Copies of this chain bind each other. A is one copy, B any other.
Amino acid sequence: MEKGEFELIDWIKGQFMVPDGVLGIGDDCAVLPQRDGLETLVTTDMLVEGVHFLLEDVDPYSLGWKSAAVNLSDIAGMGGKPVGTFLSCALPKTLDDGFLKGFFEGYKALSDRFDCPLLGGDTTSSLNKLCINVTVLGECVAGRSRRRSAAEPGDLICVTGPLGDSAAGLRLVLESAGYPENTLPCGILRERHYRPVPRIEEGMKLAATPGVNAMMDISDGIGSDLRHILEESGTGARIDVRSLPLSAELRTVCARRGWDPVELALNGGEDYELLFTCRPGTEVPVQHTVIGEILATPGLHWEGTDRDFIGFHHF
C-alpha cells in the first residue's frame, strides 16, 4: 500500500462511528460480538465500470450512495437490519481525490441513514476500469428472515412502491447525454435511478408479520425477480399488469416521450422496492400494492396485456 492509500483509509475510518465492542477498520479482520437469538445475514455485490455504470453519466456521490444502497437492499429483501459493510475498490489512477471524496460522502450518507458503519475493506489500483465490491452483514431475529422459497398457493403478491421509475431515469440519462431535461418529473426519475433508498424499515416490519411468506428485493425487474420466487417455491403466479403501481412522474414523462410505462415497470430494473407474498387477510404493516396471486401450478401469467416480460439484463 502507498502512503496515499493509508491516508485515504484513515480519512474513511474517521468518517464512521463504530459501536462499542466492535473492531472495525485497521486490523486483519473486523470482529462483531454475537448475541443470542439472532442470525447473521451476509450479501455481496460487485459493480463494474462500463457494465453497471458509466463514469461520464454518474456523479461520484451518487455512485457511492448506490453502491451501498443496492447491497443494503439485499438485507432488506430478507427482512434484516444492516449491521456493517465492507468495501473493496480497484481504482484507476485517472480518478482524482475529488472523485474519491465524493464517492465516500455518498457511501457514508446512505450508510448513516441506516446506522450501518463501514467496518472494513480493501483498496487497490486498477489498470483501467473502476471496480467496486460491497459486502454487507446484517442481522435478523432467528427464524424470521424471509426466503424466496416460502410462497404458498393463494398468497397475494405485493410490492412496496412504484415500479419503473429507475429504468425511466436511466433511459433519460442515456437518451439525453449532455443535455439533461431539467423538468421536475425528469429530475425525480433520475434521482430514483441514482439514489435508490433500500426498504430496510419496511423489510423489518414485514419480517415481523405472521402471514408474510416469501420476500426479495426488486433489482432485475419484476418479470425476472418474481420467477426466482416461483422457482424456489415450486409455484406459479398471475400478475395483473393494470394494478402495477406507477408514479405520477413516470406517467407524465412516458406520456410526453411515447414510452410504455408498463414495460418499464415490469421489464426495467433497479427499483429496489420489496416484492413479497402474504396470506389473504394478513394485516400488512407497510404501504403496499397487491399486483397478483400465487398459483399452485407453475407458470407466470400476465393479465391485462398480451405480452411477456422477462426482466432486466445487466449483460
Contacts and interface: CB of A to CB of B under 8 A. Distances in A.
Interface of A: 1-2, 5, 23, 26-36, 38-46, 48-52, 74-75, 77-78, 80, 86, 88-90, 119-122, 124-129, 131, 133, 135, 137-138, 140, 142, 145, 147-149, 216-217, 220, 232, 313-315
Contacts of A34: 34-36, 38-40, 142
A75 to B, nearest CB: 6
A26 B124 CA distance: 29
B29 A124 contact: no
A80 B27 CA distance: 13
Contact of A29 (B1, B36, B42): B42
**Chain multiplicity (copies):** 2
Contacts of A50: 126-127
Contacts of A140: 31
Given A88-B46, A135-B135, A30 B41 contact: yes
B48 A131 contact: yes
A40 B40 CA distance: 9
Given A88-B133, A90-B48, A135-B86, A74 B29 contact: yes
A30 B43 contact: yes
Contact of A220 (B1, B26, B29, B43): B1
Nearest to A47: B124
